Amino acid sequence: MKPIPSSITSFKQFREAIYAFRVPRIIFSALDLNLFTKMETRDWTIPELAKRIRVSQRGLAILCRNLASVGLLVKSQSGYRLAPFSKRYLQESSTDFQGDYLVLMQRQWSEWSHLTEVIRAGQPLDSQKPETMEYRRSFSWAMHHRSIQPAREVAQQISLKADRTLLDLGGGPGTYALAFLAKNPTLHATVMDRPAALDVARTLAEQSSVGTRLTYQAGDFLTARISGTYDVVWYSNVLHIYSPTDNLKIFKKIKRILNPGGRLLIQDIFLQDANDLQPLEANLFAVSMLLYTQRGNTYSVREVREWLQRTGLTRSRVLHLKKGTGDWEGQLVEGRLPRSG
């Protein structure tokens, strides 16, 4: 399986880019059939497994062969068993099961088929349909599953030793806030988000030894007042939801709640080159924002630092994480409020 080329210059590369859909479609079919959970921990022959999940032997044999080709199953003399990765992340009995995140990916598969009509209309899917509490809870669990490891990695690399208060703005399940609390025993954190997301944050905090140092603030921070003052505001994977105008408005609100010398730390997927064409993933993610948000997009580091400057968070810089850690390409943008205010 070849990666999608960053630049298509031949019809062969064009064809490979088009047909890259095949492996995801195969995996989604396995998820649709609940195959990974139903395989449990034993080896299966094709006839046995076909009976177990109620599918044809021919279809299952080809499906399993492909799943083994990409490392999700292991082929044995008698048949197939789960690979270690699948046991850990794709099986419901595992403590690391990615549950709601898998559901989110499956839902996106069908929703992306509506991209053409969204491009025509310039409006996201279900733009007139109000969001349900159930959807927000499920989405928050998905973001928690996605963020567990990156949050630990970031918390290990960002020094908060001198800080006492942190606001995880739009922090959803509070995964990052809890990771920062675990690393910094004198820190207290607040997570601000919608009530359904905070339900998930409370559940996770109750299961954590540091959860008593986490408090909650419900509301839409674009329109609602943000209470309290903070040494650090953590703004992770939120920037892309909003327009430049809205982000400027949010940055100004953040400036008002920062203590002198306080920091705004922004983690997002940033465009890196002068023409805003790379990395490819940043532009692909902009398509997700077209599908799911009213005004969202992806932005360059240059743009974000300009917004910080205009807001008065004038001491901005780029922080680099260790390669392969954190979210996206391992960059944070920091804006600091001068101590003079």
Active-site amino acid positions = 240
CA 204 from chain centre, in angstroms, equals 17
Distance between CA 183 and CA 174 in Å, rounded? 14
Two tokens at 51?
Answer: 């009976």
Shortest CA distance to 217 belongs to which of 208, 226, 204? Answer: 226
Distance between CA 231 and CA 163 in Å, rounded? 6
The kind and range of the H/E element at 282 are helix 280-292
Shortest CA distance to 180 belongs to which of 197, 156, 208? Answer: 156
Q: Within 13 Å and on the Cβ side, how many CA atoms surround 31?
A: 21
Distance between CA 90 and CA 38 in Å, rounded? 11
Two tokens at 92?
Answer: 């419901």
Two tokens at 263?
Answer: 């920091």
Measured torsion, CA atoms of residues 161, 165, 171, 174, in degrees rounded to the nearest 10: 70
Hey, is 82 helix, strand or coil? strand
Secondary-structure percent of the chain, ordered helix, strand, coil, rounded to 5: 50, 15, 35
Distance between CA 265 and CA 140 in Å, rounded? 21
Two tokens at 178?
Answer: 């809890």
